[in-house]
Amino acid sequence: MAWERFKKLLEEEKVRLEKELSQIARKNPENPEDWEVKAPEMNPMVSDQSELADMFEELETQAGLEYQLEERLKKVNAALKRIEDGSYGVCSVCSEKIDEKRLEANPLAKNCIEHTEQ
Ligand SMILES: [Zn+2]
């Protein structure tokens, strides 16, 4: 089966995720798979407690979002790798073909319905 359609979907998602990530994080120069959250602009003149609290809250929110985006990007990259090495669309537990409708709903699926990780 040709996976071109899924490959295209995954590559589009990869571009979108990297774009979103690049707004709040930067690639770790020593490990391109890893992203680090950019610290918000720290204003050394800020001494107001509530402003500081806002800044930390923002950093926390960004860290959470960064984590989600990075995890998703890892899964997209793993799926693209499976297309490359020919293991895409096959359940990693029982080696049965994954239903194409299921892949359409979730191109990151790596298990059949029976072996879906909860
Ligand atoms: Zn299975």
pLDDT of 105 > 80? The answer is: yes
Interval between CA 111 and ligand 1 midpoint (Å) = 5
H or E element, residue 28 = strand 25-28
How many other CB atoms are there within 10 angstroms of residue 82's CB atom? 19
Interval between CA 97 and ligand 1 midpoint (Å) = 8
pLDDT of 68 > 90? The answer is: yes
Kindly report the pTM of this predicted structure: 0.82
Instruction: State what percent of residues in the chain have pLDDT above 90.
Output: 67
Q: What is the pLDDT of residue 77?
A: 97
pLDDT of 30 > 80? The answer is: yes
Indicate the pLDDT class of residue 41, thresholds 50, 70 and 90: low
Interval between CA 103 and ligand 1 midpoint (Å) = 13
Give the CA angle between residues 91, 92, 98 to the nearest 5°: 10
Interval between CA 44 and ligand 1 midpoint (Å) = 56
What is the spatial distance between Cα 59 and Cα 15, in angstroms, rounded to a whole number? 24
Per the structure block, which two tokens stand in for 51? 């402003």
**Which residue is listed with tokens 């096959």?**
90
